[in-house]
Amino acid sequence: MGNTITKTILKNHIVEGEAVIGKEVALKIDQTLTQDATGTMAYLQFEAIGIPRVKTELSVSYVDHNTLQSDFRNPDDHLYLQSIAQRFGIHFSRPGNGICHQLHLERFAKPGKTLIGSDSHTPTAGGIGSFAIGAGGLDVSVSMAGMPYRIKYPRVMGIKLTGKLSDWVSAKDIILEILRRLGVKGGVGYVLEYYGPGVKTLSVPERATITNMGTETGATTSIFPSDEITKGFLEAQERGDSWVEFIPGEDADYDKVLEINLSEVEPLVAIPHSPGNVKTVKELAGLKVQQVAIGSCTNSSLLDMKRVAGILNGKTISESLHLTISSGSRQVVDHLIESGEMGYLIQAGARILENACGPCIGMGAAPPSGAVSVRTFNRNFLGRSGTKDADIYLVSPETAAATSITGILTDPRDLGKYTGVKMPDKFNINDNMFMPPLSPTESEKIEIIRGPNIKPLPDFPPLPNNLEGEALLKVEDDITTDHIMPAGAKILPFRSNIPEISKFVFGVIDDTFPQRALDKKGGFIIGGENYGQGSSREHAAIAPKYLGIKAVIVKSFARIHLANLVNFGIVPLTFKNPEDYDNIDQGDNISIEIGNLDEIVKLTNKTSGLEIELEHSLSDLDKEILKVGGKLPWVKKQVK
């Protein structure tokens, strides 16, 4: 049978293990990226490993998340990140340059290369044919140190695209259609690989929108072919020499196939509070809206912004709402100014925000109390916007722009004739806001700058044979990393200060949790299905570890969070019989015999007297890492 793109790239990068579904393989990593919300901790960890320079082909540190400078904390972190980049041979993208995934797609991503990033939407680069995976910061640090990245060999779901999108329907509607069919768990264990005649109808930015939000299905990553469309995009970015063809074999063998006729896709919307709750815009048309926000790493490309500008040209936004626009990069803004389309946005009444993540992560532009906010973002989790009682709806740029004019959720097809947009043959290239790596000789002279908010890493003690404590919190299905470790303008500045940020753990669910955990000297968390979905933020493991969490016991885990728990010495266990979830209540006293972490682990509920069987998906290496207290102490032993 012919190879898929996924199998071909993995074959070229496996350095250990066999290509058997579900078995662990170690991959050579070519590129890494970090952003400032996760990067400060990642580089503290990289420093602790103790090597003089990164060993990847390319590593980039972006500043795009914590760009509000309401006090010294964020700017101090940015100085730290800049000095780290200069010291260790890393490209540095300065504040204001743009969103990491948009910039990486424009300037660095390469077909056939492996990329891991300390951001769950790193699969954006799959739109250009990279095998790009989101990971915790520690895993990225280890990859920068030259060690392989380990994953379970995935299944490949072939998503066959046929037909062509109708006017006013866009790539965002395609991925919302996929989420409507798969939900937020349907991609777990899979790579989503796109093929079929419909692929040729999609530009690289459109493909990147789809791979970006494929993360919300739980997939390991998503990838498109590298074809003549890809070549044209790279040539327009003056990177034609980066192009390599990667297309699936004619008889490619997919483990599962999902077929989508693009001609039948219509404008869609994800309703609160999950990207998997998808309906047609027509079903909800007329919903009164108080805010529209356009941008994020999902929909901030030049193509997206041109479409929005075309809709707003000559119009004024509704008096009942406000509109924010965040372009993905300075290149996008440069083109909008050159074409005059930035004027359309300004004249229509849009608030032009910085080229950064901004409202998507709750960093400014929070909606009013109880408001409906229509956004082109990738997540609408409870409280993520910065306003806990706001309702967030996820839509395409076309739907968002139409809504901003009418003041109610509007199907863009109601606007009438579609005129389309003209993209430039060549993009304006100006990399002056990237700082390239210094030479090794120059790097040695760089002093690393540390502000007072940057605190040392917590200790990682070895794992004992028996774990004792209280079930400190019991939660339901689909708990996200936003629930565990909230973001937003109030909390993100403490990403380099674990004692301080730990005060906000589970604040959305139970704001008494941090102090209770400290008072009880730690304990356990009990959860349902898909625990830890969403962001790659490793703080959702580090901060609970600091509070004394010893094990998390759930029905199932999301991939990245499971890895992060192992990395920081928290034992991830699942109920052998899911109904045993009902046999542990918050406040119960629990004892777990860890021993050698055999296939079955015994839990005793000392409050009820019941014995419960737990299991895990840990590899032998995972067990070894847990036993020594986490990945950082394990890695330090390997490099000495």
- What domains lie within the chain, and their CATH numbers? 5-264 (3.30.499.10), 268-412 (3.30.499.10), 466-639 (3.20.19.10)
Residue 443 has pLDDT above 50, yes or no: yes
Q: CA–CA separation, 378 vs 296, rounded Å?
A: 8
Percent of the chain with pLDDT over 70: 99
pLDDT for position 333? 97
535 is an active site residue: yes
119 is an active site residue: yes
Q: CA–CA separation, 496 vs 476, rounded Å?
A: 29
Reported confidence tier of residue 1, pLDDT bands at 50, 70, 90: very low
* Residue length of the chain: 640
Q: Let me know: does 88 contact 107? Beta carbons within 8 Å.
A: no
334 is an active site residue: no
Annotate 608-626 with b (16+ C-beta within 10 A) or e (fewer).
eeeebebebebeeebbebb
Do β-strands 31-35 and 131-134 pair in parallel, antiparallel, or remain unpaired?
A: unpaired
Catalytic-labelled residue, pool 91, 537, 559, 561: 537
Q: CB-based contacts of 425: which residues, under 8 Å, 6+ apart?
A: 236
Q: Let me know: does 554 contact 526? Beta carbons within 8 Å.
A: yes
Reported confidence tier of residue 461, pLDDT bands at 50, 70, 90: confident
Nearest to 627 by CA among 573, 574, 569, 572: 569
Helix axes 631-639, 620-628, angle to 10 degrees: 100
150-164, 402-416, 447-461, 613-627: which has the minimum mean pLDDT? 447-461
561 is an active site residue: no
Reported confidence tier of residue 130, pLDDT bands at 50, 70, 90: very high
Catalytic-labelled residue, pool 77, 119, 139, 173: 119
Residue 454 has pLDDT above 70, yes or no: yes
- Sheet of 131-134: strands edge to edge? 131-134, 114-117, 31-35, 58-62, 91-93, 434-435
Catalytic-labelled residue, pool 318, 535, 536, 556: 535
Residue 518 has pLDDT above 90, yes or no: yes
pLDDT for position 251? 87
Question: What is the pLDDT of the chain when averaged over all its residues?
Answer: 94
301 is an active site residue: no
Residue 268 has pLDDT above 90, yes or no: yes
583-595 mean pLDDT: 95
Q: CA–CA separation, 215 vs 207, rounded Å?
A: 13
Q: CB-based contacts of 627: which residues, under 8 Å, 6+ apart?
A: 462, 463
Catalytic-labelled residue, pool 375, 379, 413, 483: 379
pLDDT for position 640? 58
510 is an active site residue: no
AA letter at 510: D
Catalytic-labelled residue, pool 30, 36, 64, 391: 64
Strand partners, 257: 158
551-568 mean pLDDT: 94
pLDDT for position 534? 83
Catalytic-labelled residue, pool 65, 104, 375, 539: 65
> Higher confidence at residue 68 or residue 133?
133
293-310 mean pLDDT: 97
28-55 mean pLDDT: 94
